[in-house]
């Protein structure tokens, strides 16, 4: 038949929420044709008569969305800090907990003690919780080893996770997360080690896709971050930054200067920061889980991001200390209720803009011809329901690279 399109599978019977250009862009009663791992056609079911598929998959109503992209997580670490959470709620201060060997140092100690297999096993449990809610792409950072051997082991664990789970994983080196105990009186010495030894080895062994740092008064200064970013730049590695979470240091403007993929947190970002991000195409990654757990009051400048057309992503920030979040969908609700985002903005934040924050918008984050066939079928009437329902795991069917995985 003239004009036939051959494909491996055809999915139809639901409304398709494409998220093209960050909007719902719904195709009522749509269809998706998949060849190998890519979408080769998408449109209304009534226009699919020319498609010849080896397998037909009829969906029972509901909606189809792009697979979720969790663009900021710390899923690999040793131990947990639930006991510290309980201590804080019983009136013990963070400084007292730190003096007892708690805080980030307790996670560093547990992570250094953990073997590669132990790190993979514990992270797998956390990762599986995210995958069950429709995540098909996730970023995972190092940053709890804080010595060369342990940081490399964390990055190797991240690469191993990608081999055993049906998900695309982007690995980020966050060695400039905190000052190691051994460098307490010489934080610049740790920065030198990162720049001259660790990052070159990471690049040689292809253990990371990007480099991150924490620019904050309790972490590293803009000058120290600049050294890390210059080293990453020399190695051809893109950068990201934890910026303006607790104070205004101009970190997001610094990130923009280096054409960073994203600046993350951003509660204290100024209009100048937002303008710089807009000019560089740097994505604003908002992390309501940490905002919620830390009981913060200063919200990110969402109105300014809208005004300057800075894409806003949402992520779980899953980590043992400030955001032990295992549900990206819950973060969508928090983005709306705590930060004033709309449901459409929130869903774009966990799909297209999340992909942009990882440099992957050309291949995922929306349902379009040529992109990976990563999508999720939900038995829901409207996309806003994904944001509306609090808690509970909504039933869903996840398709990763054209294959149903759950």
Annotated binding site for N-formimidoyl-L-glutamate: 144, 319, 321
Residue pair 239/260 in contact (Cβ under 8 Å)? The answer is yes
CA distance linking residue 172 with residue 169, whole number of Å: 10
Q: Which residue positions form the known binding site for 4-imidazolone-5-propanoate?
A: 81, 144, 177, 245, 322
End-to-end CA distance of the chain: 35
Number of H helices, E strands in the chain: 16, 16
Q: How far apart are CA 137 and CA 114, in angstroms?
A: 25
How many C-beta atoms surround the C-beta of residue 249 within 10 A? 21
SS3 35: strand
CA distance 263 to 107: 24
- Answer positive or negative: Cα dihedral of 368, 318, 331, 263: negative
Residue pair 353/315 in contact by the 8 Å Cβ criterion:
no
Q: Is the dihedral of CA 341, 346, 352, 356 positive or negative?
A: positive
* Residue list, annotated binding site for Zn(2+): 72, 74, 242, 317
Residues 6+ apart with CB under 8 A from 254: 215, 222, 225, 226, 229, 241, 243
Local structure of 111: helix, strand or coil: helix
Residue numbers in the known binding site for Fe(3+) are 72, 74, 242, 317
Binding residues: 72, 74, 81, 144, 177, 242, 245, 317, 319, 321-322
Count, residues in the chain: 406
Torsion of CA 203, 204, 209, 212, to 10 degrees: -20
């Amino acid at each position: 038949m003239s004009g036939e399109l051959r494909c491996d599978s055809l999915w139809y019977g639901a409304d398709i929420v494409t998220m093209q250009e960050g909007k719902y862009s719904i195709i009522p009663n749509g269809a998706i044709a998949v060849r190998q791992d890519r979408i080769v056609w998408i449109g209304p079911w009534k226009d699919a008569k020319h498609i010849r598929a080896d397998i037909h998959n009829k969906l029972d109503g509901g909606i189809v969305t792009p697979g979720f992209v969790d663009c900021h997580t710390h899923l690999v670490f040793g131990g947990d800090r639930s006991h510290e959470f309980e201590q804080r709620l019983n009136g013990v201060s963070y400084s007292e907990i730190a003096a007892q060997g708690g805080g980030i140092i307790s996670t560093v100690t547990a992570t250094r003690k953990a073997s590669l297999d132990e790190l993979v096993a514990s992270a797998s449990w956390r990762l599986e919780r995210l995958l069950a809610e429709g995540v098909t792409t996730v970023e995972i950072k190092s940053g709890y080893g804080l010595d060369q051997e342990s940081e490399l082991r964390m990055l190797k664990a991240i690469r191993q996770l990608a081999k055993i789970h049906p998900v695309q994983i982007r690995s980020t080196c966050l060695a400039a997360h905190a000052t190691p105990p051994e460098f307490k009186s010489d934080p610049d010495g740790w920065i030198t080690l990162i720049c001259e030894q660790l990052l070159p080895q990471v690049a040689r062994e292809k253990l990371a896709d990007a480099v991150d740092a924490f620019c904050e008064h309790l972490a590293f200064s803009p000058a120290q971050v600049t050294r890390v970013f210059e080293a990453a730049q020399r190695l051809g590695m893109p950068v990201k930054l934890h910026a303006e979470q607790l104070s205004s240091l101009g970190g997001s403007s610094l990130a923009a200067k280096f054409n960073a993929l994203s600046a993350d947190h951003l509660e204290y970002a100024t209009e100048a920061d937002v303008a710089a991000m807009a000019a560089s195409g740097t994505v604003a990654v908002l992390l309501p889980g940490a905002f919620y757990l830390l009981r913060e009051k200063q919200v990110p400048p969402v109105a300014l991001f809208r005004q300057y057309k800075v894409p806003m992503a949402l992520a779980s920030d899953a980590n043992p200390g400030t955001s032990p979040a295992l549900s990206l969908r819950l973060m969508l609700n928090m983005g709306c209720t705590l930060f004033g985002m709309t449901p459409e903005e929130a869903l774009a934040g966990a799909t297209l803009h999340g992909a942009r924050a990882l440099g992957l918008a050309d291949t995922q984050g929306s349902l379009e011809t040529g992109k990976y066939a990563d999508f999720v079928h939900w038995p829901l009437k409207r996309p806003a329901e994904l944001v509306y329902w609090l808690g509970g795991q909504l039933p869903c069917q996840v398709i990763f690279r054209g294959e149903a995985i759950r």
